[in-house]
Structure 1
Amino acid sequence: MPDQQTYHGSCHCGAVRYEAKSDPITQAMSCNCSMCRRKGTLLAFIPAADFTLETGESALADYQFNRQMIHHLFCRTCGVTSFARGVMPDGTPMVALNVRCIDEIDPETLTINRVDGKSF
């Protein structure tokens, strides 16, 4: 089993910064739901316990839609969504990382898995 890595992510202006621990991120999910399609996010999911928001809790705004299962968080200053919070199907708290906002990752090197979120 690969060793966990530490990743650092942020919004564009740097008001929101986080640290995440995960197995090496080599793939991401591209969803075609109305939100992800418009934002262009590429997502990797980790347990909430492996996520630390370092700065910016007060800089975050929350948007929910449809079944209101995911907290689509974005920076009030620059508008970038660097992560979202929700629960896995089994009820475990999770964080969806927008891999485009992770310093150590070049999204062009990832395997992209397409998900039909539009049909959910």
Structure 2
Amino acid sequence: MLPDITTSRGSCHCGAVQFRVELSDGLRSARRCNCSYCRMRGAVAVSAPLSGIVIEQGEDALTVYQFNTRTAKHFFCSKCGIYTFHQRRSNPSQYGVNVACLEGISPFDFAEVPVFDGVNHPADRAAGVNEPVGVLRYVRR
């Protein structure tokens, strides 16, 4: 795994949705969230600017899901159901990109992934601070 990569290609499981992405800070921005949706989805996401994703194929196959404040937009393939990326609530000028959709990258490549507090979202707090509340570890046996 190369933490300094700046660009990558990505796709959903069935290949209907294919995209190019320019990452904000390589793979160093990898994170999880503990909100109700992310907890169930279980993806590790990295950051990209809104201008950083170019859909090369299957834009018509993308479906969006929004809940609660309806600020975040979670995009997934309508054919295979895989979450590809989302426009963040914590920073609406960024996408969070599912690392499992990126070529040659797996969520299991990360020994530790910081977990951010989406249950008590920074946009809902006066201080607006978004710091990790824990880590998720993967230890290969």
Same fold (TM over 0.5): yes
- The normalised TM-score by structure 1 is 0.85
Q: Determine which structure has greater relative contact order: mean sequence separation of CA pairs < 8 Å that are 6+ residues apart, divided by chain length.
A: 1
In structure 2, stretches of 5+ residues that fail to align are 122-141
Q: Which residue of 1 aligns with 2:12?
A: 11
Separation of aligned partners in 2, 1:106 and 1:27: 14
Determine whether 1:113 maps to 2:114: yes
1:27/1:113 contact within 8 Å kept: no
* Larger strand proportion of the pair: 1
Gaps of 5+ in 1: none
Instruction: Work out which of the residue numbers 42, 45, 51 in structure 1 matches 2:47.
Output: 45
Amino acid at match of 1:115: F
Name the Cα RMSD after superposition: 2.0
Decide which of 57, 60, 63 is 1:58's aligned counterpart: 60
Contact 2:43 2:107 (C-alpha < 8 Å) held by counterparts: no
Query: How many residues are paired up?
Result: 117
Classify the secondary structure of the residue corresponding to 1:118. coil
Q: Which residue of 2 aligns with 1:102?
A: 102
Return the index of the structure with the highest Cα Rg: 2
The TM-score, its normalising length taken from structure 2, stands at 0.73
Identity of aligned residues (%): 37
The aligned amino acid for 1:102 is L
Residue 119 of structure 1 and its aligned partner are, at CA, apart by 1.9
After TM superposition, what 4+ stretches of structure 1 lie above 6 angstroms from structure 2?
none
| In structure 1, C-alpha distance between the alignment counterparts of 2:66 and 2:105, rounded to whole Å | 27
Q: What amino acid is aligned across from residue 35 of structure 2 in structure 1?
A: C
8 Å CA contact 1:27, 1:112 repeated in 2: no
Q: Deviations over 1:17-46 (max 9, x none)?
A: 111112431451111111111111111111
Q: Secondary structure at the match of 2:113?
A: strand
Counterpart code for 1:43: A
CA distance in 2, matches of 1:41, 1:20: 17
CA distance in structure 2 between the aligned counterparts of 1:62 and 1:106, rounded to whole angstroms: 23
Partner of 1:29: 31
Change (3 A) 1:33 1:3: closer
